[in-house]
Structure 1
Amino acid sequence: MRAGEGRTRQRGISFIGLLFVVVVLGCVGVVAAQLVPTLIEYQAIMKAAERAKAGTTVPEVRSLFDRGQAIDDFTAISGKDLEVQKVGDKVVVSFAYEKQIHLVGPAWLLMKYSGRTD
């Protein structure tokens, strides 16, 4: 019997492998921490648009949206950025906007949001 034949090989992650995994998870965590507020803002905008569709005229819809903006405290868009249409007997409010998140150096993450009430 040669030396080391009867032993099983150790398995697991090395220190360098563990360090690599921690760095990757850290980078993903930093991006996620910057992304989550934009998703929360989108939900607030969608909620304000849903409330605004109760208006009957375009100025009234925009005014209702601006009141929702003051309550939910978002800054990405305002009432003047809305597209208001009348489809049948319903008012449909739609919007679109972009958010940029700086990653590192010249790298940016561009998020394009759009929504429509039905």
Structure 2
Amino acid sequence: MTPSSSRSSRRAQQGITMVGLLFWSVLIVFAAVLLIKTVPAYVEFESVKTLVNQTAVKGGNTVPEIKANFERMRSNQGTIDSMNSGNLDITKDNDRIVINFAYDKEIPLFGPVSLLLKFRGRSQ
């Protein structure tokens, strides 16, 4: 083989190195684990928003009634664990009940590493 032919064959080689393959594999696995662990938290958040909107429409007239109705609806639904009626801030705006809520969800990833998600919302 002549030196010029070995150079041209090296240029023609394409692909990914073993280190590159390992790097991308680790990155994809980490992203998949993150996605698998966070999607249920966002599904729960959507459930909370729906429940808060339902409670604002037909929850009651006083703060204790609204909180009791929220707890009853939450226990019937069974998918909301991160939040309770203590996280509700209930106000009135032009004879309309407005419910604000905020809660944190800590998701353990591995070892001492956790992901903290802060959810906030309000009734429509």
What TM-score, normalized by structure 2, do the two folds share?
0.83
- Displacement of 1:31: 1.3
Contact 1:84 1:94 in 2 (8 A): yes
- Displacement of 1:84: 0.4
Runs of 4+ aligned structure 1 residues displaced above 6 Å come to none
- 1:77-88 equivalences in 2 (<5 Å): 77-88=83-94
Unaligned runs of 5+ in 2: none
Q: Which deviations, in whole Å up to 9, do the C-alpha atoms of 1:59-101 show, x marking residues without a partner?
A: 2211221122113221111123211000111100011111111
2:77 corresponds to which of 66, 69, 72: 72
- Displacement of 1:105: 2.9
Paired position in structure 2 for 1:49 = 52
- 1:24-63 equivalences in 2 (<5 Å): 24-54=27-57, 55-63=60-68
- Paired with 1:46 and 1:60, the residues of 2 have a C-alpha distance of 19
Q: Percent identity?
A: 31
Q: Which deviations, in whole Å up to 9, do the C-alpha atoms of 1:15-47 show, x marking residues without a partner?
A: 331222111111111111110111011111111
Q: CA RMSD in A?
A: 1.8
- Paired with 2:123 and 2:110, the residues of 1 have a C-alpha distance of 36
Paired position in structure 2 for 1:4 = 6
What TM-score, normalized by structure 1, do the two folds share?
0.87
- Paired with 1:107 and 1:61, the residues of 2 have a C-alpha distance of 37
Paired position in structure 1 for 2:22 = 19
Paired position in structure 1 for 2:103 = 97
Tell me which amino acid in the other structure corresponds to 1:24: L
